[in-house]
Structure 1
Amino acid sequence: MADEKVKPRRGRPKTMTDEARREAIVAVAEALFAAKGFVGTSTDEIAARCKISKQTLYRIFPCKTDLFGAVVDVHRMRMIDLGDGYDDLPLGQALAKIFMIDLDQRAYELRAAFLRAAHVESFSEPQLREILRCRGGYKARADLKSWLDRQCVNGRLVIKDTDRAAHMLMDTFAGSMVFDALGGFGWASREERIAHFKQCIDIFLKGALPDQY
C-alpha cells in the first residue's frame, strides 16, 4: 500500500580492522597486566574485556607472551617520546618532553604500575625478563643514547660515555616510578612529582657542584 511505512534497511555492521583491534587488545592487556600481573591475567579475561572470542585473540596474538611483548613495545613509547628530536628546544624542556614528566595522574599511574608489576614478576618468569630487556629497557636506552649522541655532535652536550648517561637517565626516571608505585603513589600532588623530575633533569644537565669546582 502507498501509505505503508517502509522500514529502513540495516547496513552491514561496521567491522574493526585488525590494526584497530590489535591496539584495543594491547590497551586492555596493559591495564590487566598492571593490576593483576602476567600470570594472574588469563586470556579468557582479556578476550571477555575486549568482547571478542579467544579464537580472534589467538589469531592476532598466537600466545599470551606475544601479547606481553606488544604491550612492552607500546609501553616503551610511553616511557620515552623522542618526537621530532626536540633539537629546537632548550635541553631541559627537551628532556621533560622525552620523559613526558607532565602526564596526567591516571596515565602516570598506569605507566608506573605496569613497570612495577612487569619487573617484579620478571624475577620468577625468565621469558618476561628477556622481553623487558630486549624490547623495553635496552631499546629505550639505545634510542636515548642516539639522541644524546646527536646533542653532543651538535655541540649542545659534552658527555664522555653517552650509553652510561642514557642508563643513568633511565634509572632516574623508571626507578623513581617503580618506587613510587611500590609505595602506593606517594607524591602529594602531580605538581610535586613534576617538580621532582624537573630537578633531576636540572642536576643531570648542570651538575651539583659550584662553578669554581
Structure 2
Amino acid sequence: MTRKGGRPYKSDSQTKSQHIIETASRLFARQGYAATSVEQVVAACGVGKDTVYRRFPSKLALFEGVVEHARLRTQAHFQTTMAAQTGDVMEQLRAVARWLLTVNLDPTLIAFKRIAFSEALVIGQSVANKTDDPIMDRLLGLLREAQKTGELARGDILFLAAHLLNCIAIGPTIEAMLGRTTYASTRAQNAYFEKAWTLFLNGARPR
C-alpha cells in the first residue's frame, strides 16, 4: 500500500525492512560474510536494489542491521523466558544460566559469532558497541541478590558473572564455533548443564 504520490505507508516500509533483514540473516549464517553480497540479498528478497540500498547503504550496514535484529530478538526471548519464572533467587539464577547455554548454542548466533571472529578486521567493533544489555543487567541483579541472601559468597560481582559464564557457556560455545555437534541435542545440553551448574555453585557458595 502507498500514499498519494507513491510514498509507502510506514508499516509497508517496516515489513520490507524486516524481509530484507531476515533474508540477509539466512544468507550470512549459511555462507558467511565474505561470500555474501548485497546483490545476492537483493535477488533472494525479490525487491529492487534501490530498496535495499536506501535502508542499508553497504554490506557492513546490512550486517549491522542483521546483528541488531538478532540482538533485539534474543532480548525479547529472554524477557519471555524470565517472565515465566516465579521461584526464589537461586531458581531464577539457574533459569538464566540454562537459558544462556541454550542461546549461546543457537546455530544462527554461532554463525554470526564466527563472522565476528573471522572478519574482525572488516567489521571492527561496529557490531559490538551496544552499551545496553538487559540480559547481563538481570544476571548481575540476581547475583547481587543471591549474595545479599547469603546463597552466594560476597565478592566482585563482575568476576562472579564471568565465573558463571565460563562454567556454563564458554566451552560449549567454542565447541560449536569449531563445527562440533557435541552439545547439539537438548539431552546433551541438559547433562552438561547439571555438571556445569554444580561446578559454578562449588566455586561461588560461601565457605
Q: Output the amino acid matched with 1:111.
A: L
Counterpart position of 1:39: 34
| Contact 1:25 1:46 survives alignment (8 Å) | yes
Task: State the percentage of identical aligned residues.
Answer: 23
Counterpart position of 1:150: 141
Where does 1:66-145 land on structure 2 (aligned, <5 Å)? 66-77=61-72, 81-83=77-79, 85-86=82-83, 88-89=86-87, 90=91, 91-97=93-99, 99=100, 101=102, 108-122=106-120, 124-125=121-122, 128-135=123-130, 139-140=132-133, 143-145=134-136
Q: Distance in 2 between matches of 1:195 and 1:175?
A: 14
Relative to structure 1, is the Cα distance of residues 83 and 183 closer, same or farther in structure 2, using a 3 angstrom cutoff?
same
Relative to structure 1, is the Cα distance of residues 165 and 47 closer, same or farther in structure 2, using a 3 angstrom cutoff?
farther
Relative to structure 1, is the Cα distance of residues 175 and 27 closer, same or farther in structure 2, using a 3 angstrom cutoff?
farther
Q: Distance in 2 between matches of 1:46 and 1:33?
A: 9
Counterpart position of 1:196: 192
| Contact 1:96 1:198 survives alignment (8 Å) | no
Alpha-carbon shift at residue 60 of structure 1 (Å): 1.6
Relative to structure 1, is the Cα distance of residues 78 and 158 closer, same or farther in structure 2, using a 3 angstrom cutoff?
farther
Aligned length: 187
Alpha-carbon shift at residue 82 of structure 1 (Å): 3.6
| Contact 1:102 1:194 survives alignment (8 Å) | no
Q: Output the amino acid matched with 2:197.
A: I
Relative to structure 1, is the Cα distance of residues 168 and 63 closer, same or farther in structure 2, using a 3 angstrom cutoff?
farther
Aligned-CA RMSD value: 3.5
Q: Distance in 1 between matches of 2:106 and 2:114?
A: 12
Q: Output the amino acid matched with 2:102.
A: I
Relative to structure 1, is the Cα distance of residues 208 and 65 closer, same or farther in structure 2, using a 3 angstrom cutoff?
same
- Gapped regions of structure 2 (runs ≥ 5): 1-8
Report the TM-score when normalising by structure 2.
Answer: 0.70
Offset from partner CA, 1:49-99 (integer Å, 9 cap, x none): 1111110001122222222112112333455654165563312123323x2
Alpha-carbon shift at residue 193 of structure 1 (Å): 2.6
Q: Distance in 2 between matches of 1:64 and 1:188?
A: 31
Report the TM-score when normalising by structure 1.
Answer: 0.69
| Contact 1:31 1:114 survives alignment (8 Å) | no
Q: Secondary structure, in 3 states, of the residue corresponding to 1:26?
A: helix
Where does 1:7-22 land on structure 2 (aligned, <5 Å)? 17-22=12-17
Residue 48 of structure 2 corresponds to residue 50 of structure 1: no
Alpha-carbon shift at residue 170 of structure 1 (Å): 4.8
Q: Output the amino acid matched with 2:95.
A: Q
Counterpart position of 1:3: none
- Gapped regions of structure 1 (runs ≥ 5): 1-14
Alpha-carbon shift at residue 153 of structure 1 (Å): 4.0
| Contact 1:148 1:162 survives alignment (8 Å) | no
